[in-house]
């Protein structure tokens, strides 16, 4: 089995990690639900309600990035071992602190496909910050609308549960799937760049992607450091495979 085949096989395992990340997000959504229920009982309204619900979601970013760092550390170690095996050279993984810093600051290529290369991109931190704030504000609006309509408490609670258990959970799965693929891609490219015995090129693999024409066009193409990496759209299942080209 070639190195590329080994990476493709491993990427199926990576997709399973989205379940772990989804659990991280949904655990925070459960805290949001409980907080929303409590504030509804107390009759909290206006800006105070938004602030309280935002505070309940605020820990999500740090928890998600810590989980992502653990996954990135594993992916870097796996990449180093697999490359060492196939290239017969010593490849070293990237340390956790460097990976966490990159995860917090590196922009994802999301929006590149639909809005052009100059479109504003977002880091993992920004993606989770925005998700947390928006979910809190959406729940707050549901409560405010129900209060204006003078709905009974049990109906307000049902509306909160319906939103969080339905739309918000579905969006959590999309966020988890997209960011996990970003984490895996970043871990691999950072590992490639860390080891000077190989060049910085990598191969776009769209084996598990079945909905995006641009991803299909990129499949098998060789890219270099600084090029846009997957994911380039929400739900993107593409991955990065080291080219294995040696530096002279």
pLDDT, tens digit (0-9, with 9 covering 90-100), for 109-125 = 886 555 555 556 788 99
Residue range 183-223, pLDDT digits in tens: 999 999 999 999 989 999 999 999 988 778 889 999 999 99
Q: How far is CA 194 from CA 61, 94, 128, 190, 246, in A?
A: 27, 7, 27, 6, 13
CA dist 241 and 184 (Å) reads 10
Beta bridge partner(s), residue 169 = none
Q: What is the structure's pLDDT at 110?
A: 81
- Residue entry with tokens 């993606």: 127
Buried b (16+ CB within 10 A) or exposed e, 121-131: bebbbebbbeb
Residue range 75-97, pLDDT digits in tens: 999 999 999 999 999 999 999 99
Which of 194, 191, 189, 190 lies closest to 239 in space, CA to CA?
Answer: 189
Question: How many other C-beta atoms can be found within 10 angstroms of the C-beta atom of residue 147?
Answer: 16
Q: Which two tokens stand for residue 44?
A: 């909290």
Is 177 within 8 Å of 65 (Cβ atoms)?
no
* Band (235; pLDDT cuts 50, 70, 90): confident
Please state the domain extents for the chain: 3-199
Is 70 exceeded by the pLDDT of residue 17?
A: yes
User: Model's pTM, two decimal places?
Assistant: 0.89
């Amino acid at each position: 089995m070639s190195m590329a085949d080994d990476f493709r096989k491993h990427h199926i395992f990576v997709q399973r990690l989205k379940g772990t990340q989804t659990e991280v997000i949904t655990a925070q959504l459960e805290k949001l639900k409980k907080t929303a229920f409590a504030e509804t009982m107390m009759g909290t309204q206006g800006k105070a309600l938004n602030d309280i619900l935002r505070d309940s979601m605020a820990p999500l970013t740090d928890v998600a990035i810590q989980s992502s760092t653990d996954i990135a550390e594993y992916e870097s170690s796996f990449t180093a071992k697999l490359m060492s095996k196939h290239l017969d050279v010593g490849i070293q993984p990237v340390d956790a602190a460097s990976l966490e810093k990159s995860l917090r600051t590196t922009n994802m290529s999301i929006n590149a496909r639909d809005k052009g290369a100059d479109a504003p991109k977002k880091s993992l931190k920004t993606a989770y910050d925005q998700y947390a704030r928006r979910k809190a504000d959406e729940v707050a609006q549901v409560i405010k609308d129900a209060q204006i309509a003078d709905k009974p408490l049990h109906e307000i609670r049902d509306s909160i549960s319906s939103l969080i258990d339905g739309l918000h959970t579905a969006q959590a799965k999309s966020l988890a799937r997209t960011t996990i693929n970003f984490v895996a891609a970043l871990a691999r490219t950072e590992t490639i760049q860390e080891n000077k015995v190989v060049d910085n090129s990598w191969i776009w693999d769209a084996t598990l992607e079945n909905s995006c024409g641009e991803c299909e066009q990129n499949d098998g193409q060789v890219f270099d450091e600084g090029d846009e990496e997957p994911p380039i759209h929400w739900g993107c299942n593409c991955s990065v495979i080291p080219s294995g080209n040696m530096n002279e």
